Structure 1
Amino acid sequence: MISLRSIALFILAAILEIGGAWLIWQGVREHRGIGWVGAGVVSLGLYGFVATLQPDASFGRILAAYGGVFVAGSLLWAAVADGYRPDRFDITGALICLAGVGVIMYAPRGR
């Protein structure tokens, strides 16, 4: 159950961080305005809070593992929001990153 909660938090964090960065990008690069930028800033702040809800207490481990989720999530976001078509190397790289997340976060450890 803890693993499912952790995975759900990683997904929520990815949506907030990638979405926040995308909103700022849209506001600045696509000239959609300050409202988009502000929404992005709020989303990025919420991402920082969500990361603290992970069951593991190690900031470094959480952030390192989240990096893999971010890579895969960014490609997925680009495909859905911007019509980007990941190629086989993008997909392979994302799967390698997610495997790394599994090892970092969920491998059994002797304490």
Structure 2
Amino acid sequence: MTIVRSLVLFVLAAVFEIGGAWLVWQGWREHRGAAWIAAGILALAAYGFAATFQPDAHFGRILAAYGGVFVAGSLLWGVVMDGFRPDWWDLAGAAICLVGVSVIMYAPRG
């Protein structure tokens, strides 16, 4: 159950961070206004808290692993929200990052 909780928290953190950055982008670059930017700032703040609920207590490990989730999540966000079409290299890079997440977070330690 700990791994499932950790994975859910990584997905939640990705939605907050990627979504927050996307909202700021939309507000500023796409001229949607201050409300979009404010919503983005709130989402980014929520991201900052999401990682603190991870079962592992090591900040460096959590943030390093989250980096891989961010890479894959950003590509997925672009597909869903902006019609981005990743190429084979994008997908291969994201897969490598997710393997790294698995090694960093879920390798047996002892």
User: Which category of TM-score, normalised to the shorter sequence, fits these structures?
Assistant: over 0.9
Q: Which residue of 2 aligns with 1:102?
A: 102
Partner of 2:90: 90
- Correspondence 1:4-19 to 2 at 5 A: 4-19=4-19
Q: Deviations over 1:9-60 (max 9, x none)?
A: 0000000000000000000000000000000000000000111000000000
Letter in 1 for 2:42: V
| Structure 1 residue 102, shift from structure 2 partner | 0.0
What letter matches 1:84 in structure 2? F
Any idea what the Cα deviations from partners look like across 1:51-77, whole Å, max 9, x if unmatched?
A: 100000000000000000000000000
Aligned residues: 110
Gaps of 5+ in 1: none
Structure 2: distance between partners of 1:50 and 1:69? 13
Task: Tell me the TM-score normalised to structure 2 length.
Answer: 1.00
Which residue pairs with 1:3 in the alignment?
A: 3
Give the aligned partner of residue 49 of structure 2. Answer: 49
In the alignment, structure 2 segments of 5+ residues that lack a partner are none
Helix, strand or coil at the partner of 2:53: coil
Rounded Cα–Cα distance in structure 2 between residues aligned with 1:68 and 1:102: 9
- Cα distance in 2 for residues equivalent to 1:30 and 1:11: 26
User: Offset at 1:83?
Assistant: 0.1
Counterpart residue identity of residue 48, structure 1: G
Distance 1:66 1:44 in 2: 14
Aligned to 1:38: 38
Query: Once superposed, what is the RMSD of the aligned Cα atoms?
Result: 0.3
Identity of matched residues, %: 70
Runs of 4+ in 1 over 3 A off after TM superposition: none
Report the TM-score, using the length of structure 1 for normalisation: 0.99
